[in-house]
Structure formats: C-alpha cells, structure tokens
Amino acid sequence: MPPRRENEVSLAQRARVAKDGLDVERRSCLHARLFCPDARPIAEMKIHDVSLVLRPDMVTWPGEPGLRLEPLRRISKGDTANVSVVSFSDHAGTHVDPPLHFIEGGNTADRLPLDALVGPCRVLEFTEQGHVSEEWLSSAGIPARTERLLFKTRNSARWADPTGPFTRDFTTINASAAAWCVAHRVKLVGVDYLSIEPQGPEKAGYPVHKTLLGAGVVIVEGLDLRGVGPGVYDLVCAPLKIEHGDGAPARVFLIER
C-alpha cells in the first residue's frame, strides 16, 4: 500500500464534514489541514511563540515567586540522567486564569474547555492612552462570532527586558470592555502583561476578572506579542493540567494564516 500523503483526506472524513455541516473556512488551519487537501503542511506555516520564558530572575506579581529550579540528579555527579525539581507560582509568566481564580467553587485549570484554547483568534493593537473600553471595541471592526481576542499594547515592549522591574502602570481592558466580550460571546481574552485588571480606582471589586470568569471566559495573561502584528491567527494555548488549579502556566502559539 502506498504511503498516505500528509494532505490527503479520506472519503469518510469528507462525508463527516458534509454530514455535520462543518464550515471548513471558519475552522482553524489545524482543522483545515485535516479536512482540506490544499492546506499547507505545518512545516510551511509560520508559528510565533508568544509565551514568556520561565526563569529565576523573571518579573512576577509582587509577593509571588518566580521559577525555582533545583537539581535532583546530575550526570556530572554520577547519576544516569539529569532530573530537576521545579517550583513557581501558578500565575507566573504566561498563564491562564480559570474561574476559580476569583470565583469560589468555579471551574479549575484542569477543566478548562479545550475548544476555547484552540482556534482562530484576532490580535488587536491598542495604542491609545488609558485602557481598552467598550466604545473602542465597538469601533474596532471586529467581525461577528469572533471567539478569541488578544490585545497587543505598549506592554509588549517591556518584555525586551524580562527581568525589568514590575510596574502597575500597564495597559489592559476595563470593565466595560469585559462586559462587551461577554455580550459578544468571546471565549478567550488575552493581554500582554501580568494582569487583566486595571490598577487604581478601577480595580475595586475586580470587575474585569469577575465579569469574564463569571461568564466562563478564559483569561490569558503575560503574553509577549512583540513579534506579531494585528490580524487573524490560529491560537494554540496549552496550560498545564493542574488538578484543582486556580491558575496554570501556559505555552501559547500563534500560527499565521
């Protein structure tokens, strides 16, 4: 039997697409690679890693530990393999916030909906003063049924020095923008600093976290979006599957279309 070509799609797969009424054009390129014979192979796709590197000297939220890497076994000391013990805050670096982070009894990191973590997303570039608002989102030309939004702001430039001092002077979205996302059925919202909550008076009651997490929206914080421009990408967000976790570090990729 000749080897199956990477972009070959079986008749059974095509039949399932037709039967289920799947709109292939609205699927991510990962789905398209399975269903569309003309899709590019992954080796030809440009993939951006928008995660921060976990390192001992990384900037963290005040009071929360960064990475601690302790050698347990070392080949140089006669062991058969190198093994280390790793510890860090579950909100260190690029990470996801599940509902439990701010809602007692809420969903946990190990139970996040996978369909929110993988699929088409839109990167929006916000260059204005203040924070992203409902008014700004309403005028941003976001297509209906957009399910994932990532916000690139002046924060991303800070990651040129990942050991730089923590600052509360960061740009994010405000409570009205969070309500807009819920009203428009957005499944995932990502920002390019360590919190999605504005600091100062707007922080009172944590309305952004509670609005989004209360509606089951996945929050991704600590993205490094320096290398990507605004537009549509395919998102792969892979948080650690931590049982009962109120947060989880994540590796996040954006795939150019």
8 pLDDT more than 50? no
**Hey, what domains does the chain have and what are their CATH numbers?**
11-45 (no CATH), 49-64+90-256 (3.50.30.50)
Confidence at 24, pLDDT banded by 50, 70, 90: very low
Does the pLDDT of residue 30 top 70, yes or no? no
Cβ-Cβ contacts under 8 Å for 155 (sequence gap 6 or more):
170, 171, 191, 192, 193
Q: Which residue has the higher pLDDT, 16 or 243?
A: 243
What separation in angstroms does the CA of 173 have from each of 1, 65, 108, 118, 238? 56, 25, 23, 22, 23
Is 199's pLDDT higher than 60? yes
Amino acid at residue number 4: R
- Does residue 22 have a pLDDT over 70? no
Q: What is the pTM of this model?
A: 0.84
Residue 2 has pLDDT above 50, yes or no: no
129-170 per-position pLDDT tens digit: 899 999 999 999 999 999 999 999 999 999 999 999 999 999
Residue 62 has pLDDT above 90, yes or no: yes
Q: Which residues of 172-204 are buried (b: 16+ CB within 10 A; e: fewer)?
A: bbbbbbbbbbbeeebbbbbbbbbbbbbeeebee
Can you tell me the mean pLDDT for 9-37? 46
Q: Which of 31, 95, 101, 209 is catalytic?
A: 101
Does residue 224 carry a pLDDT above 70? Answer: yes
pLDDT at 20: 43
Using one digit for the tens of pLDDT, what is the confidence trace for 182-192?
999 999 999 99
Q: What is the mean pLDDT of the chain?
A: 89
Strand partners, 124: 151
pLDDT at 21 over 60: no
Q: Which pLDDT score is estimated for 45?
A: 85
Look up 184 and say whether it is catalytic: no
Q: Does residue 14 carry a pLDDT above 60?
A: no
DSSP secondary structure letter of residue 26: G
* Closest residue by Cα to residue 198 from 189, 211, 209: 209
